Structure 1
Amino acid sequence: MTTSDRRGPRTGSAILRTALRRNAGAMASGTVLMGMYQAGETAFPIALGLIVEHTMRDRSLGALGLSIAALAVIITTVSFSWRFGMRILQKANTTEAHRWRVRVAACALQPVARDADLKSGEVLTIATEDADQTADIIEVVPLLISSLVAVLIAAVALGTASVGLGLLVIVGTVVVLAVLSVLSRRIGSGTREQQARVARAGAKVADLIAGLRPLHGFGGNHAAFRSYREVSTEARDQAVTVAKANGAYAGAALALNAILATAVTLLAGHLAFQGRITTGELVMAVGLAQFIMEPLKLFSEMPKYVMIARASAERMALLLAAPPVLAPGTERPAAGGVEVRGVRYGSLDGLEFQVPAGEFAAIAAYQPHAAGDLMSLLAGGVPPAAYEGVIRVGGRDTADLSIEAARAHMLVDPSHAEIFAGTLRSNIDPAGTGPLVGEAVEASMLTDVVALHSEGLDYGVRDRGANLSGGQRQRLSLARALAADAPVLVLHDPTTAVDAVTEQLIARGIAGLRRGRTTIVLTSSPALLDAADRVLVLDGGAVTADDTHRNLLKSDRAYHRAVTR
């Protein structure tokens, strides 16, 4: 798949065209069936008028039986065409919504960052509400066409009785749609703003949940809650504005449709009084005037749904059309280690080091932000144009690697990895195919958590690991990273939330399990530093020392002060 394929349609209109194009068959079938439904509904008052007309002329049981049979055919057509037409359209609608949800999720989960100012809460809204509302276009278009069919049939039928009645329906429909199209534009713009504000509120509450414990720790929870209340209030006010616009639209549509139906009824009554139409035609006209309210209502509501679908499609385009920060290549790395040459980025100033294949190297960063900058580079979250120098994995420049190859060869595990709702096992081995789950549990010292519960690895974990302690969440994340058995593993502070004894055991476990595999740990933990084959000291953005932990303790006083506790 090329980069342009990943990005998908660039505009909301292009997204809607894509949805319409790949559901053309289902929409055609649905349109035919829904057109039959509307034609049958329209035929009912026409048939009643004809029955009255013929019954008054020919009062026989045969004519009555034929009339009943004709009504039965119409009712059967209406019932089955509606049932199967809506089944086809709703299946296509839900399938299309699923496709866009998967597309948005795949885009958001790419291992390269995207240049779209959207937080996780907003992405969630796009992947759910916006995807569903965009797919509604699959139902809207056939319903719009079928409603138009009903209006045209009614106009033609009334025109056969009186040209004036037919023209009144056509002209009245045009006037109704012209008035409502103005209101629908207001609803579309208001809906876009409402969706954006709701998404921002969702992103804010997601951030609050993620940082609730530290917020409580330094007393910032009240200020954070006030901030969320402001954002939520803005979303509520905009929702009220949209609701008012929707109410005005619905009221105007109902009033205009009622006026048109009343006008048709009054004109038909006037023509019948003058003897210009028959009693049967009057019955037909009155029936059509009542029936036409439904397709007119449906027809007049369609522009609103089109505008909502377009607004949602434009929000999806914000994410789908945003160019990736990195343009992944197609090469695959050979077996090998990691090489960093002359890298300048953020706090890194000419950083150079090499970790050969199979070595366990620890990096002691005196400045925490330097460790963060290095992790961002190794994780592929920084575009090549944003830094100087070269980063190679397995002898290949990271900018030339395909996403799949980079992910399969090197795993970069952040200090605060996500824990998902599920079980311990599903968090450690999401694919269910990892051969090292038991070894990873042992090495990460997660054994005590497993032993605490009768379910063992099948113990249920709540969202974000809410039923686990900080140390248990950290060890669970470490077990997942170790179980992946990546050729190159980069860890950042994997033991900050555990006690010294457990830390010592984890350090030995990592060294044992990763023997023969390339491992880089950014840490200040003496246990991990001691377990590593060598330690690189990162100070002032560059490597200032390279030796074993114990040699550095003896020869480097600054290192001794930085890492001893």
Structure 2
Amino acid sequence: MTTPDTQRPRPEAPAEVPRGGVGILRTALRRNVGAMAWGTVLMGLYQAGETAFPIALGLIVEHALQDRSSGALALSVAALAVIITTVSLSWRFGMRILQKANTTEAHRWRVRVADCGLQPVARDVDLKSGEVLTIATEDADQTADIIEVVPLLISSLVAVLVAAVALGLADVRLGALVIVGTVAILSVLSVMSRRIGSSTREQQARVARAGAKVADLITGLRPLHGFGGNHSAFGSYRKVSTQAKHQAITVAVANGAYAGIALALNAVLAAAVTLTAGWLAFDGRITIGELVMAVGLAQFIMEPLKLFSDMPKYVMMARASAERMALVLVAPPVTTPGPQRPAAGGDLEVDCVRYGALSALKFQVPAGEFVAIAVYQPRAAADLASILALNVPPDAYEGVVRVSGEELAGLSIEAVREHMLVNPYDGEIFAGTLRTNIDPSGTSRTVPEAVEASMLTDVVALHREGLDHGVRDRGANLSGGQRQRLSLARALAADSDILVLHDPTTAVDAVTEQLIARNLAELRRGRTTVVITSSPALLDAADRVLVLDEGVITAEDTHRNLLATDEDYCLAVAR
């Protein structure tokens, strides 16, 4: 955050967003054409080798054993060894290529979905964070499965065609039976796969909603325990989870029926080929060697047929997952960020802003000033913080917000984030260490100063690891005050030109709050700082206090002058 703007790497141009689930699948296939081509060739060799094995056995019976020659037998064994080696190596390297491509593609989509979920501009998508998490993991993985599905589908088709040709050379009726039987099996299973696809989409949606409910409950776990609402919340989650369970059972039943019918149809086809070949051999129309080949192919063909018949189901599942990803990826942003960057300096101006509890709010903070805003209505404080944090697009409110003289609507989101940091009162704490929470990018040069200013030094001193002390998810092993000071340290370590803090010390004791206020004023001297607070210590440390009441600025002076002259202010902030 301290790197000069001229040294910052420019963000890459955003990748083209595919339209819909089909577009996502096409993008995945197009990006992996090379890997899929090699995988198809190798898996085709594998399936051809598998199919060639019973053909070779039939030829051995037909020729080598009739001649009863040791040389012919040795040659036959060598041919079988070549086939087995081909099968083994082609499977090994073919699956290695396909699984590497699959894993890489899943990673790309996970990053893409996560990037959309972390965009500072809100997106018009009715999905909670828990649902986005499910989409970024399970759905991304299932979408990438299409990379393996297509080559396996083609290689299975190769095996079926090789078997049909080989049987057709023995007797055309055997080849025709395989072709007709395969078409019939796929026709039946394609109808079932559509039902599985729709059921899977509903299951994924319900599982995602259950995940979102868990995320919400974990976020509000402490308040729920505080007023005894944990049992009611658990009942709410249990209801959502039960719905997901019932839908999962429905999908499992459909998958079981699909697998059972596919296996039964494949077995019927194999039995039909075997019985037909036996009848033809008994009638003298095919030789014993061709009978052995037909019986062997009838057994071996069940594997590619099973794989071939499973493909429609996997395609439908991949498409269902891709369509859920499209909900996040193709949703248009609520606002289009501008191309400009803030000029050097750090002044902040709010000009006649109307939004929520704000009514024609107007104030200006010159560069380098430390201003505190005493807000009498909490809703107004939240609305102001949301606007400055870019959680509300400029076209959603009246009036203008200017940063260094430039309107927010014309500025790049990334540039505003680099120039102005708004730290919320409920700043998230992440699993990791104290250091990684304070300086996530590892580039800050002011970590020691930030730790000292936020009075986090006692937490660091408590542990032998110091700043490398482990922090659990959401700061579960820290107290409320420690989490708040850790969040404040992170904001200070960013060392941004403009820093906006929203109630940074509500969970801190009065003595520590006094020290933080003094340290904050000292550390941010000469840098623009705005604190939205009712803390007397922070109000007293500020150069100027603005009183925000009923959505407008009603008074402006130092904290001590306001205490002496404004009775309402005295009642609102005195503790």
Q: What corresponds to 1:238 in structure 2?
A: 247
Q: What corresponds to 1:344 in structure 2?
A: 354
Stretches (4+) displaced over 2 A: 1-7
TM-score normalised by structure 1 residue count: 0.99
Q: Larger deviation: 59-68 or 524-533?
A: 59-68
Q: Is 1:473 aligned to residue 479 of structure 2?
A: no
1:70-95 residue CA offsets vs partner (Å, 9 max, x unmatched): 11111111011000000000000000
State the shift of 1:460 in Å.
Answer: 0.9
Q: Is 1:179 aligned to residue 149 of structure 2?
A: no
- Superposition RMSD in Å: 1.2
Aligned counterparts of 1:315 and 1:2: Cα–Cα separation in 2: 27
Q: Is 1:431 aligned to residue 441 of structure 2?
A: yes
Q: Larger deviation: 401-410 or 477-486?
A: 401-410
Aligned counterparts of 2:379 and 2:16: Cα–Cα separation in 1: 32
Q: What corresponds to 2:472 in structure 1?
A: 462
Alignment check: 8 A CA contact 2:518 2:541 kept: yes
Q: Is 1:532 aligned to residue 537 of structure 2?
A: no
State the shift of 1:55 in Å.
Answer: 2.4
Alignment check: 8 A CA contact 2:65 2:73 kept: no
1:125-274 to structure 2, matched below 5 A, reads 125-274=134-283
Q: Is 1:321 aligned to residue 334 of structure 2?
A: no
1:302-331 residue CA offsets vs partner (Å, 9 max, x unmatched): 110001100110111000111112211111
Aligned counterparts of 2:184 and 2:525: Cα–Cα separation in 1: 78
Alignment check: 8 A CA contact 1:31 1:143 kept: yes
Q: Which amino acid aligns with 1:32?
A: V
1:172-217 residue CA offsets vs partner (Å, 9 max, x unmatched): 0000000001111111111111111111111111111111111111
Q: Of 509, 520, 525, which aligns to 2:519?
A: 509
Q: What corresponds to 1:370 in structure 2?
A: 380
1:7-60 residue CA offsets vs partner (Å, 9 max, x unmatched): 722201000000000100000000000000000000000011011111244221
Q: Give unpaired runs (5+ residues) of structure 1.
A: none
Q: What corresponds to 2:409 in structure 1?
A: 399
Between the two proteins, what is the percent identity of the paired residues? Answer: 80
State the shift of 1:385 in Å.
Answer: 2.1
Aligned counterparts of 2:11 and 2:274: Cα–Cα separation in 1: 61
Q: What corresponds to 1:310 in structure 2?
A: 319
State the shift of 1:458 in Å.
Answer: 1.1
Aligned counterparts of 2:133 and 2:401: Cα–Cα separation in 1: 33
State the shift of 1:2 in Å.
Answer: 10
1:48-87 to structure 2, matched below 5 A, reads 48-87=57-96
Q: What corresponds to 1:385 in structure 2?
A: 395
Q: What corresponds to 1:278 in structure 2?
A: 287
Q: Is 1:417 aligned to residue 427 of structure 2?
A: yes
Alignment check: 8 A CA contact 1:3 1:327 kept: no
Q: Of 108, 113, 125, which aligns to 1:104?
A: 113
Q: What corresponds to 1:494 in structure 2?
A: 504
State the shift of 1:403 in Å.
Answer: 2.0
Q: Which amino acid aligns with 1:362?
A: A
Aligned counterparts of 2:457 and 2:150: Cα–Cα separation in 1: 58
Alignment check: 8 A CA contact 1:326 1:382 kept: no
Alignment check: 8 A CA contact 1:503 1:527 kept: yes
What count of residue pairs does the alignment treat as equivalent? 565
State the shift of 1:236 in Å.
Answer: 0.4
Alignment check: 8 A CA contact 2:40 2:154 kept: yes
Aligned counterparts of 1:103 and 1:232: Cα–Cα separation in 2: 28
Aligned counterparts of 2:485 and 2:11: Cα–Cα separation in 1: 37
SS of residue in 1 equivalent to 2:425: coil
Aligned counterparts of 1:2 and 1:151: Cα–Cα separation in 2: 50
Distance change >3 Å, CA 323–CA 7, structure 1 → 2: farther
Aligned counterparts of 2:404 and 2:288: Cα–Cα separation in 1: 90
State the shift of 1:389 in Å.
Answer: 0.6
Alignment check: 8 A CA contact 2:335 2:395 kept: no
Aligned counterparts of 1:492 and 1:213: Cα–Cα separation in 2: 21
1:507-543 residue CA offsets vs partner (Å, 9 max, x unmatched): 0111110111111110000000010110111111111
Q: What corresponds to 1:121 in structure 2?
A: 130
Alignment check: 8 A CA contact 2:425 2:502 kept: yes
Q: Is 1:44 aligned to residue 53 of structure 2?
A: yes
SS of residue in 1 equivalent to 2:335: coil
